Chain A
């Protein structure tokens, strides 16, 4: 008998809200977190993209200065989200040897790494801080969360670019099902709004260049979409073995019914145009969760707003759900908060859990002329989801051909 895994705590810090209640209200309203960057480095390096979606609440408004000093910005966001999720779970007593962490990032401590390189060049090796290595390592966020919670059943860092956050949930589910842990703090964190990643993503033509209108730049499924908008932040979810949650009378948001990870093995960055890897991931997550196409009422799509990315996801959804795809309410929440890279899967999972729990699908903004090749039922004003037993899916795909899907079932 497979152990059932439920979600009992949620946390987030994002461009449309520094905590879950604020983010959720904004997600239902439909706001944009994208703004023009006022930093001097935009002009200094003549960046082709002048905007991004920064976290609405700066980390230093939440963490103490001394605490923040030892953390890369990505870890700061991760710790903030994890603390919120932990408090939300209401767990007060736990066997710390049975508590694990699966906290992902796409890039890791890129600010720390590049700041240290600048320091080395400008001031010499003596001035490179002794905390540089633990701050730049990609497992820094999982390690910091593990330290913060006293989680001793392992601290893991799945890294699969923009699928990382979703892969963390896949790993977390496995850890509980296989009996290695009873509770797992899962999540993803990213802080890469730095001139180098902006230049690099621009150079591969991945970012929108709608510099004169940042709030309307992220427009998944729209004919005029021209790339994604860089976001930052973190999402966190407390996964718990159902019997553990029931024993303490926990509030249960939903069941993490199934997850999957597949690889395209097609191209290092381009998605398989037939969406075959994504299709296999959708089917595998549904099989894992014993889910029929008709059970699915909502999808939080990966939908980054790139010309080449949005369509294969539709192809995959059609292949996995058949004609039932027409009945599914699809939300592309990157339209509001941009693309949080390795954190996006975790934040979107939080939104998907809330959609199932609250029976409301969040809004997709900026959809003015829907691409006729993507005839999905896109949620453009907050919509009520049906009563009864329902399932929602959240997709994430990453450079490298990574596909990850999670399925949330109502309880």
Chain B
């Protein structure tokens, strides 16, 4: 079980790997599309990498609800619980 801080740090690492964005730019209130300029293809890659890293399943229909980094952290945290 990862803490929310650990999930955020892990997500930031995945986003950096996929997009080159600095990990510190990946903050809870940031929108994946509006603020981080992540397109749907990168988003799917990030989702699949997050599933592997945190041992959770993020259904395709859930991905559109993950608007901000915080949404993703909450979803992963709940899915791990």
A interface with B by C-beta (< 8 Å)? 64-66, 69, 126-127, 129-131
Contact = CB atoms under 8 A, between A and B. Distances in A.
Contacts, number: 18
B19 A127 contact: no
Main secondary structure of the interface of B (DSSP, over half): helix
18 contacts: A64-B20, A65-B20, A66-B18, A66-B19, A66-B20, A69-B18, A126-B48, A126-B51, A127-B48, A127-B52, A129-B45, A129-B48, A130-B40, A130-B41, A130-B44, A130-B45, A131-B41, A131-B45
A129 B44 CA distance: 8
A130 B20 CA distance: 18
A129 B41 CA distance: 9
Contacts of A66: 18-20
Contacts of A127: 48, 52
Interface in B23-60: 40-41, 44-45, 48, 51-52
Nearest to A128: B48
Contacts of B40: 130
A126 B48 CA distance: 7
A66 B18 CA distance: 6
A126 B63 CA distance: 14
A131 B18 CA distance: 12
A140 to B, nearest CB: 14
A126 B47 CA distance: 10
A127 B47 CA distance: 10
A65 B45 CA distance: 15
A406 B20 CA distance: 42
B20 to A, nearest CB: 4
B63 to A, nearest CB: 11
Given A65-B20, A131-B41, 13 more contacts: A64-B20, A66-B18, A66-B19, A126-B51, A127-B48, A127-B52, A129-B45, A129-B48, A130-B40, A130-B41, A130-B44, A130-B45, A131-B45
B10 to A, nearest CB: 18
Of the listed residues B18, B19, B48, B52, the one surrounded by the most CB atoms of chain A closer than 10 A to its CB is: B48
A66 B46 CA distance: 13
Nearest to B43: A130
A127 B45 CA distance: 9
A37 to B, nearest CB: 28
A129 B20 CA distance: 18
